[in-house]
Chains A and B, each alone.
Chain A
């Protein structure tokens, strides 16, 4: 809620993803649902129609489908940097679940917290950062080898 009380991070990309090849950051998707409950109706429809197409479209993501009785329907997404995101999908329709899955696929695994600055540079200063001596004329002249009077 407060800036100091909640986490924040700087804008970053995962290992410069996209500069060369783009690697999908989603490692694993586990769809937990129940075979008989009402809230899992949308999930069951999605598993009948859309899950195979989704898995074929994203060959780098492993899709696990686990029916477990008396559990709230959930989608657990694990990313390459180790973060785990759980989304509860009770009473969602099949297209809504597909939308959610595309959103999770396009995310990188970085946490969703306040980003301190909307920009990031590795080289912020090209002409040299200002220091108190930047605009001062030098106090001693150029350094030359000492003049020796004796030949």
Chain B
């Protein structure tokens, strides 16, 4: 008697499982705990990681902007003024002003003085008589 159909009952369920699993695990290698070794835990962790990555592309821009604003506010308070005063006078973007405040403190000081002068001008225009300050001549006043 020869058993010929025995070998037909052995089936290969799919030869690629190892590589499909490794594709997921390679993104999980730097995780903590069993998530970096066990496939079922890793699948969930990798999916969350990728979702966080997509969401945080917008968040990064927001966070960087708030960081710059915090730093500019701190630097301007060192010179005795506040962030809105500085930002209205200086027509530069926040990233550049923040870099100036960190790496070029004296340039930032001159920017702060400029903003202070603008602020004083604004106060005088709002609260004063409507006349030019003494020693200043301008065509607008002469034409009227």
**B-contacting residues of A (Cβ < 8 Å)?**
1-5, 124-130, 134-135
Closest chain A residue to B29 by CB distance?
A5
Cross-interface CB contact of A127 among B52, B78, B79, B106, cutoff 8 Å = B106
Complex alpha-carbon distance, A2 and B104, angstroms: 34
Cross-interface CB contact of A130 among B52, B53, B103, cutoff 8 Å = B103
How many of chain B's residues touch chain A, expressed as a range?
A: 10 to 19
Cross-interface CB contact of A3 among B53, B78, B101, B107, cutoff 8 Å = B53
- What residues of chain B lie closer than 8 Å to A4, measured between beta carbons? 30
List residues 102-131 of chain B with CB under 8 A from any CB of chain A: 102-107, 109
Q: A125-B104, A126-B103, A127-B104 given; name 16 further pairs at CB < 8 Å.
A: A1-B49, A2-B49, A3-B53, A4-B30, A125-B102, A125-B103, A126-B104, A127-B103, A127-B106, A128-B105, A130-B75, A130-B102, A130-B105, A134-B105, A135-B78, A135-B79
- What residues of chain A lie closer than 8 Å to B27, measured between beta carbons? 1-2, 5
Top 7 nearest A-B pairs (CB, nearest first) are: A125-B103, A2-B53, A127-B104, A127-B106, A134-B105, A130-B105, A135-B78
Total number of A-B contacts with CB less than 8 angstroms? Answer: 38
Cross-interface CB contact of A5 among B49, B75, B105, cutoff 8 Å = B49
- What residues of chain A lie closer than 8 Å to B52, measured between beta carbons? 2
List residues 22-78 of chain B with CB under 8 A from any CB of chain A: 27, 30, 49-50, 52-53, 75, 78
Kindly provide the distance from the CB of A21 to the nearest chain B CB, expressed in whole angstroms: 32
| Contact call B107/A127, Cβ cutoff below 8 A | yes
**A-contacting residues of B (Cβ < 8 Å)?**
27, 30, 49-50, 52-53, 75, 78-79, 101-107, 109
Complex alpha-carbon distance, A44 and B49, angstroms: 45
Closest chain B residue to A5 by CB distance?
B27
Complex alpha-carbon distance, A1 and B30, angstroms: 13
| Contact call B53/A135, Cβ cutoff below 8 A | no
Closest chain B residue to A125 by CB distance?
B103
- What residues of chain B lie closer than 8 Å to A5, measured between beta carbons? 27, 30, 49
- What residues of chain B lie closer than 8 Å to A129, measured between beta carbons? 102-103
Q: List 7 A-B contacts (CB under 8 A).
A: A1-B53, A2-B53, A125-B104, A127-B103, A129-B102, A130-B75, A135-B105
